Amino acid sequence: MCGIFAYSGQKKSAGDLVIRGLKKLEYRGYDSWGIAYSENQKIGLLRKVGKIGEFDLENTALPQSTLAIGHSRWATHGGVTEENAHPHVDAQKMFAIVHNGIIENYKELRDELQRKGYTFKSETDTETIVHLIADYAKENTFVTATKMAIKRLKGRFAILAIKADEQKIIAARRGSPLILGVGENEFFIASDIPAFINHTKKVMYIDDDEMVVVNEKPHFYNIHSGEEIEKRVVEINWEPQSAEKGAFEHFMIKEIMEQKDTIYRAINQKDSEILHLADEIKKAYGTFLIGCGTAGKVCHAASYLFSKVAKRHVNVIVGSEFPSQQDFLKEKSLVIAVSQSGETADTLEAIEVAKTKGSKVLSIINVEGSSMDRMSDYAIHIKAGPEKAVASTKATTSQLAILTMLAYACDNRLTEGKRLLIDTAGEINDMLNPRYEKHIRALAEKIKDFESMYVIGKAVNYPIALEAAIKLQEVSYIHAEGFAGGELKHGPIALISDGTPCIAIVANDETRTDILNNAMEVKSRGGFIIGVSPQNEDVFDQWIKVPDAGNASPIVNIIPIQLLAYHLAVLRQNNPDMPRNLAKSVTVK
């Protein structure tokens, strides 16, 4: 989830403006950055490795230009180097491009262009786009060439392109955010509105599969048909001081919405590395999944996935309890440790125990360079970006995505697993819209005054019921508990009274009938049934629709409950970012 910002207008300080805008987008990516601007019929380029927030703009003289594009990067394709930093240019420096997203067919396009004699200087998928535009521009206008190039791209993206001798910016998107800000004889394009909120509150929204050509005025087109689209200018009422959290009141809701992008980043790993780690799992003498809190629930869910997808048994142990199970460890054992921060004390202790036994350790983490990263034999970085809210949201689903991919790789079906997750990410992008959030907020209004709530699930969605309860506990302070649906009759059903909310997580799989029967048992005792399911069912008093995601159902099913927990917290006047008694990274035992 990189940051994109651009300016076109009357001011000659375009480079300065773009750098200032990128600094406000640094939370979207901060390992490298760069800008491109029109200078003497050529593209001027400034790229740096490191955080743009540390760049001394006040003491840097930039060339005068009335047009510039910029990018703050969170590395996906290729390492953190100046060569891989955006923008990318063609050999003649006539075209420049910045890009957010993943081009799924970039290897095919890259091979085609290399056969034509194009030389690549980076490891990125983005550089493919700029060479493709340059190739089409040999016989077409800039606009036509860009349109032709974009139509070749598979995947989800947000793209800005400029040409050295033309005062226009071309922007296009599919699945990644991009918004046009409209000023007085000037235009801004950014990943998030806060990047230009100090300059204008007038915006035009660029929708999926749309392209806009920004010159004296913007012209919108459908990417596929080429048909011009009429757009209206919308006045927004956000204040600049809220920019740190973007358009959102809290980091938690911002991070929930970022799941439109983070699943893609999580699965954007080298196939060779995933297959190597799958081989390590297959040859291990006992595999142990460990984590604490939410990460522990992710591990629990993964154990079902390894069983169902790979027909392989893995052990799940809470990090704090792992030392008590150390006698099962052998030199050929593999410990898979899961953590957002990479600094969780109980998980670190578990890793130390594993190392003393000579076992290998694989960590699935968000923070590169963390203690777990350094201690492990192998590490997979989920690339979710900074997660500031205490309640984990985007890191959770990214961890689930990685473990799903590993399960498929263990059954020699990595391509199938990645396709499932790519499709699921697309469904999540469509699901997380204002109407969906409004529906969940209305539900929160109905149940906000209850002090107890229950969540039931079965099979892979039983751990998701446990995680859903954690989310509700963390931020709403409602007494929430998760159960396996079949365990209700063994005691927990005694807790149900008239009107008690009970969330039933129902996947469209072999468990559907059983969990619906469990929900009916609760309903017959007066419970208020909230169904999280791909389809509405007679037993539901309230339905929250989710995509039918097959083995990726845990990912889609937890997201609406994250949203529900958030809105319950706000309605109950709690701070969802800083819940009482909790810290983001538990670094003490």
Name the nearest CA neighbour of 531 among 515, 549, 509. 515
Per the CB < 8 A criterion, the answer to whether 84 and 123 are in contact is yes
Q: Cβ-count burial of 309 within 10 angstroms (0-12 exposed, 13-18 middle, 19+ buried)? A: buried
The verdict on 223 and 364 lying in the same domain is no
Assess whether 195 and 236 both reside in one domain. yes
CA distance 162 to 165: 9
Query: How far does the chain reach from its first CA to its final CA, in angstroms?
Result: 33
Last residue of a domain, one of 213, 245, 277: 245
- SS3 letters for 452-507? EEEEEECCCHHHHHHHHHHHHHHHHCCEEEEEEHHHHHHCHHHHCCCCCEEEEECC
pLDDT tens series, the chain, 589 aa: 578 999 999 888 888 888 888 877 765 556 788 899 988 788 998 888 887 767 777 767 778 888 999 998 877 777 888 888 889 999 999 999 999 888 989 999 999 999 999 999 998 889 999 999 999 999 999 999 999 999 999 987 889 999 999 999 999 988 677 889 999 999 999 987 778 888 998 988 888 789 999 998 999 999 988 899 998 898 876 554 433 566 788 989 999 999 988 999 999 999 999 999 999 999 999 999 999 999 999 999 999 999 999 999 999 999 888 888 888 888 999 999 999 888 787 898 899 899 999 999 999 998 776 778 878 999 999 988 878 788 999 999 999 999 999 999 999 999 999 999 999 999 999 899 989 999 999 999 999 999 999 999 999 999 999 999 999 999 999 999 999 998 888 888 888 888 999 999 999 999 999 999 999 999 998 999 999 999 999 999 999 999 999 999 999 999 999 999 999 999 999 999 878 766 454 533 4
Which residue among 245, 270, 300 closes a domain?
Answer: 245
Are residues 97 and 199 located together in one domain of the fold?
yes
What pLDDT shows up at residue 237?
Answer: 62
Assigned domain for 402 exists: yes
How remote is the C-alpha of 12 from its chain's centroid?
36
Number of domains in the chain: 2
CA angle (181, 184, 189) in 5-degree steps: 20
Q: Is residue 345 part of a domain?
A: yes
Domain presence at residue 589: no
DSSP assignment of 225-289 equals T--EE----EE----GGGGGGTT-SSHHHHHHHTHHHHHHHHH---HHHHHHHHHHHHH-SSEEE
Asked whether residue 150 falls in the same domain as residue 113, the answer is yes
Query: Sheet of 67-73: strands edge to edge?
Result: 42-49, 32-39, 67-73, 3-9, 186-190, 179-182, 202-205, 234-235
In a domain? residue 587:
no
Give the CATH number, domain containing residue 358.
3.40.50.10490
Identify whether 584 is a catalytic site residue. yes
Residue 301 sits in the same domain as residue 202: no
- Residue 305 domain-assigned? yes
Residue 207 DSSP code: P
What the block records as the tokens of 394 is: 């985007």
Does 579 fall in a domain?
A: no
307 plus 230 within the same structural domain: no
Q: Does 285 lie in the same domain as 235? A: no
Output the pLDDT for position 369: 61
Note whether residue 91 is domain-resident: yes
Encoded tokens for 390: 């205490």
Residue 241: CATH number of its domain: 3.60.20.10
171 with 289, same domain?
no
- Within this chain, do residues 469 and 566 fall inside the same structural domain, yes or no? yes
What pLDDT score does 589 carry?
A: 45
Kindly report the pTM of this predicted structure: 0.64
Taken in order 72, 6, 256, 422, the sign of the CA dihedral is negative
The residue annotated as part of the active site, out of 360, 418, 584, 589, is 584
Asked if residue 269 and residue 121 are part of one domain, the reply reads no
Phi, then psi, of 417 in degrees rounded to 5: -65, -40
Separation of alpha carbons 516 and 522, rounded Å: 10
Residues 6+ apart with CB under 8 A from 440: 544, 560, 563, 564, 567
Task: List the catalytic residue out of 2, 292, 410, 502.
Answer: 2
Neighbours of 481 (CB within 10 A): 16
Cα 102 to Cα 106: distance, rounded to the nearest angstrom: 9
Q: Evaluate whether residue 581 is within a structural domain.
A: no
Indicate whether 232 and 269 sit together in one domain. no
Q: Give the gyration radius of the chain's Cα atoms.
A: 25
Show Cβ contacts of residue 369 under 8 Å, excluding neighbours closer than 6 positions.
none
Residues 236, 329: one domain?
no
- List C-alpha distances in Å: 1 to 29, 34, 240, 369: 7, 15, 22, 20
Write out the H or E segment, with its range, that includes residue 221: strand 218-222
**Cα separation of 313 and 303, whole Å?**
7
Return the pLDDT at 30: 62
- Residue labelled with tokens 């204008």: 200
- The Cα–Cα gap between 135 and 37 comes to 21
What is the residue range of 359's domain? 262-571
Give the three-class secondary structure for 440: helix
Residue partners of 493: CB distance under 8 A and separation at least 6: 521, 522, 525
